[in-house]
Structure 1
Amino acid sequence: MSSGCCDKNSKKQKLNHHYQESLDVNGGSGSASTAPIGNSLIKITSPEMGFFCFDTLYSYLNSLAPPKNPNFTNEPFPLFVTWEIGKDKKLRGCIGTFNSISLHSGLREYAITSAIKDSRFRPISNDELNKLHVTVSILVHFEDGKDYCDWEIGIHGIRIEFYNERGMRRSATYLPKVPEEQGWDKIQTIDSLLRKGGFRGPVTAEIRRSLKLTRYQSETVSVSYQDYMNYLQTVQC
């Protein structure tokens, strides 16, 4: 991997030091969305979180020292890291946690875990880096649903808990953007989640009524590899 005046040695030094620089997150690269919480808005994410994920993955793939702690908040939140590839942003890995975890260690962990341990995909390789996009999702505003339909497409992510046909307790989740992107209605989303969670029997109305649903909202920030390169050039200058 190279970028302009950045060779491997200078990149290693930058990995260890550039997060000590101040960053104007309001004017940074990438795109962010803010989750509505009640009648107000919160703002947790920043493009720097995506840059940190790229730095962390690059360091891991090249056996370099991990980047130092960044400047953004280290408050604990549930989070997911999603890697996509190419112009069509094909999913390449997505793993996270519903447990609240400090953002510095959480993003450091899940930037790598989602890239190399998502069992649906082969591990991301170094030669794919320049085609990647990363999205950090901070999960907020968790509420128990009254039933499997008590959520809104495009607003809520959902997590379901259920017993499969063997009586084993299972769970599965979709982030808020998934049903809308797939063009699913609520029934299609629930049925897909049951399959994702390993339910192999017939999906009936009774099965849907028996599951437990938790809805939540998500604040996200997405950055591309090019955003990351532009940021590194800015820091170097």
Structure 2
Amino acid sequence: MQKSLKRLKKQSSNMDNYKRTKLLTLAREAIALAFENKKPDLEFYKDVDESKGCFVTLHRKKQLRGCIGYIQAEPLYELVPRAAVAAALYDDRFKPVTKDELELITIEISLLTEPKQITGDSEDFPKNIIIGEDGLIIQSREGSGLLLPQVAAENFWDAHQFLNALCQKAGVSFQAWKEKHTKIFKFQTEIFRE
């Protein structure tokens, strides 16, 4: 089933439509082959060798069906299939996607910029966050977590709510982002989907 490419948000990017389409094709192929315990032949995809972190999000009828990704930058032709299979089969919030269900799934890929630590007084952190553009990462003694930029926009959160939700995702107290030992990073994404 061929799906058309849709680009979300106009954002600056070095990735052309050809490479975006190729990554979406690779993600779908990787999931389909995983049902047969096979992997795609990556030779065809090696021209998409940019190293970035990425997340693959799966939707069925606009409902989240799985989302897994990796912050650490690696060649996308290696990272995208790994994230796609993990989102389809190993996101423990959902039952695994089935072979018959795959044609009903829409694939979305988020490519991450390198995270930058937000520094200064934690009370000023919300002023440094642009809702819908910045994703967040928290690292504390008690846990860590990540939320993509679109999560805050889809939930109509302000920056304080976004930071509190990030803490919840990490399994730490809602105000942990204000603690001295806690580090908050922000990043941007290039998002595209079928």
> TM-score per shorter chain, which class?
0.7 to 0.9
Gaps of 5+ in 2: none
1:196 aligns with 2:169: yes
Q: How does 1:23-62 map to 2 (within 5 A)?
A: 29-33=4-8, 36=11, 41-44=12-15, 46-62=20-36
For 1:137-156, list aligned pairs within 5 A. Answer: 137-146=110-119, 147=122, 148-149=125-126, 150-156=128-134
Structure 2 Cα separation of the partners of residues 63 and 120 of structure 1: 22
CA distance in 2, matches of 1:70, 1:176: 31
Q: Residues 187 and 92 of structure 1: is their aligned pair in 2 closer, same or farther, counting only changes over 3 Å?
A: same
Instruction: Give the match's secondary structure for 1:62.
Output: coil
Deviation at 1:34, TM superposition (A): 6.8
1:214 is matched with which residue? 185
Letter in 2 for 1:208: W
Residues 1:137 and 1:65: Cα distance change in structure 2 (over 3 Å):
closer
Aligned to 1:17: none
% identical aligned pairs? 24
- The alpha carbon displacement at 1:63 in A equals 4.0
Name the residue aligned to 1:10.
none
**d(CA) in 2 for partners of 1:105, 1:141:** 18
Larger Rg: 1
- The separation in 2 between residues aligned to 1:82 and 1:65, in whole angstroms, is 19
Structure 1 residue 110 and structure 2 residue 104: aligned? no
Aligned-pair CA distance for 1:141: 4.5
Equivalent residues, number: 182
TM-score computed with the length of structure 2 as normaliser: 0.84
1:66 is matched with which residue: 33, 40, 58? Answer: 40
Change (3 A) 1:56 1:193: same
Residue equivalent to 1:187: 160
C-alpha RMSD of matched pairs (Å):
2.1
Distance in 2 (CA, whole Å) between partners of 1:68 and 1:162 is 37
Deviations 1:19-70 (A, max 9, x none): xxxxxxxxx931124775xxxx322251221111111111111345524433
C-alpha separation between the residues in 2 aligned to 1:80 and 1:157?
12
Shift of 1:105: 1.1
Partner of 1:93: 66
Is 2:42–2:77's contact at 8 Å kept on the other side of the alignment?
no
CA distance in 2, matches of 1:127, 1:67: 23
What is the DSSP-based 3-state SS (H/G/I as helix, E as strand, rest coil) of the residue aligned with 1:125? Answer: coil
What is the TM-score when the length of structure 1 is the normalising length?
A: 0.70
Specify the alignment match of 2:57 in structure 1: 82
Alignment partner of 2:164: what SS? helix
Distance change >3 Å, CA 161–CA 63, structure 1 → 2: closer
> Alpha-carbon deviation of 1:85?
0.8
Structure 2 CA distance, aligned partners of 1:143 and 1:67?
A: 34
Write the letter of the residue equivalent to 2:58.
W
